[in-house]
């Protein structure tokens, strides 16, 4: 790995933490310089501007989110276990943060970029849609396997799961405790058991 690539990666990693903790507007180039121990020229040797750094940092965090999902599902054997593992992964965002600042970095970026950064907002929207699609795939696997009811509205259910967990993550951050996240987790598990699973399963 070349020295330039190593430096570029260092900027991305440090910036991903800063943007997640303080937001795009709250993170200045000086903050990035301080975190990376680089001068302005050292940063601009690898990136055109702060916008490009933010986009790369988002992609880095996005990949880390999905890595955690994939790792959490490794031991899951059934579609039902996979859904439970997805919920577990979301809970872990608060209790074992992926990046400094906690929460889901995809949703954090979406909220921060709503009116300030159109490209980052586009990426965040695609990221959230990607999360929902990921859940839809697991639900469809369950329907095909006869674990989940064939008449469930998969897209709506996937959206409900994501919205419930993302909302609970925000509440957990605001209140600085995990009670609401645990409540959301219990609700979803109960809802899945009561409304999604085939009676004969």
Q: How many CA atoms lie within 13 A of 9 on its CB side?
A: 6
Rounded to whole angstroms, the Cα distance separating 20 from 190 reads 31
What domains are defined for the chain?
A: 57-196 (1.10.357.10)
What backbone phi and psi angles, to 5 degrees, belong to 30?
-60, -35
User: pLDDT by residue (tens digit) across 125-143?
Assistant: 899 999 999 999 999 999 9
Rounded to whole angstroms, the Cα distance separating 103 from 109 reads 10
Identify the pLDDT of residue 145. 95
User: pLDDT by residue (tens digit) across 90-121?
Assistant: 888 887 777 767 778 888 888 877 777 888 88
Contact, 103 vs 94, CB < 8 A? yes
Helical segments of the chain, H only: 3-26, 29-36, 40-44, 50-72, 79-95, 105-112, 118-144, 154-175, 179-191
Contact, 107 vs 121, CB < 8 A? no
């Amino acid at each position: 790995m070349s020295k330039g690539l190593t430096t570029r990666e260092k900027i991305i990693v440090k910036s991903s933490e800063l943007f997640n903790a303080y937001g795009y507007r709250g993170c200045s180039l000086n903050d990035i310089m301080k975190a990376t121990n680089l001068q302005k020229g050292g940063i601009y040797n690898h990136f055109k501007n702060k916008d490009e750094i933010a986009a790369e940092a988002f992609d880095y965090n996005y990949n880390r989110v999905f890595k955690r999902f994939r790792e959490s599902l490794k031991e899951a054997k059934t579609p039902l276990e996979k859904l439970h593992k997805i919920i577990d992964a979301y809970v872990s965002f608060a209790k074992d943060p992926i990046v400094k600042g906690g929460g889901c970095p995809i949703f954090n970026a979406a909220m921060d970029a709503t009116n300030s950064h159109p490209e980052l907002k586009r990426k965040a929207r695609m990221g959230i849609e990607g999360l929902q699609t990921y859940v839809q795939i697991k639900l469809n696997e369950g329907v095909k396997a006869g674990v989940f009811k064939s008449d469930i509205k998969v897209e709506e259910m996937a959206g409900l799961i994501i919205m419930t967990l993302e909302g609970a993550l925000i509440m957990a951050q605001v209140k600085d405790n995990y009670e609401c996240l645990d409540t959301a987790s219990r609700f979803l598990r109960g809802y899945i058991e009561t409304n999604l699973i085939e009676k004969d399963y």
